[in-house]
Amino acid sequence: MSKNSSSVVVEIDDKFGIERSLKRFKRMCEAYGVVREYRKRQEYKKPSLKLKEKTEAALKRRKKTSSKFYRSTKI
C-alpha cells in the first residue's frame, strides 16, 4: 500500500480463509482510524464546542489520575 493511498486492502488467500481475512480487515480499519473518522464526520460540531469537550475531557483525565495517585499513597 502506498503512503498517499488511504484505503484498506486485504488480500484473501486460500491459506487464510474468509473469516481470518475479515478479522484482519477489521483490525486494519481500527488501526487506521476509519471507524473513528466516520463517527466524527457523522455530525458537524462547532469549533467552540469541540474545544469545550476537549478541555472537559482533559479535566476529567487529570481528576482521575490525581485520585488514583492519592489513593495509592494513603496507607
Reported pTM: 0.49
Q: Which of 1, 69, 13, 6 is nearest to 32 (CA)?
A: 6
Q: What is the mean pLDDT of residues 17-23?
A: 89
Q: Are the beta carbons of 8 and 34 closer than 8 angstroms?
A: yes
Q: How far apart are the C-alpha atoms of 16 and 14, rounded to whole Å?
A: 6
- pLDDT computed for residue 58 by the predictor: 97
- pLDDT-derived band of residue 7, with 50, 70 and 90 as boundaries? confident
**62: number of Cβ within 10 Å:** 10
12: left (phi over 0), alpha (psi -120 to 50) or beta: beta
pLDDT in tens, 42-58: 999 999 999 999 999 99
The residue extents of the domains of the chain are: 7-43, 45-75
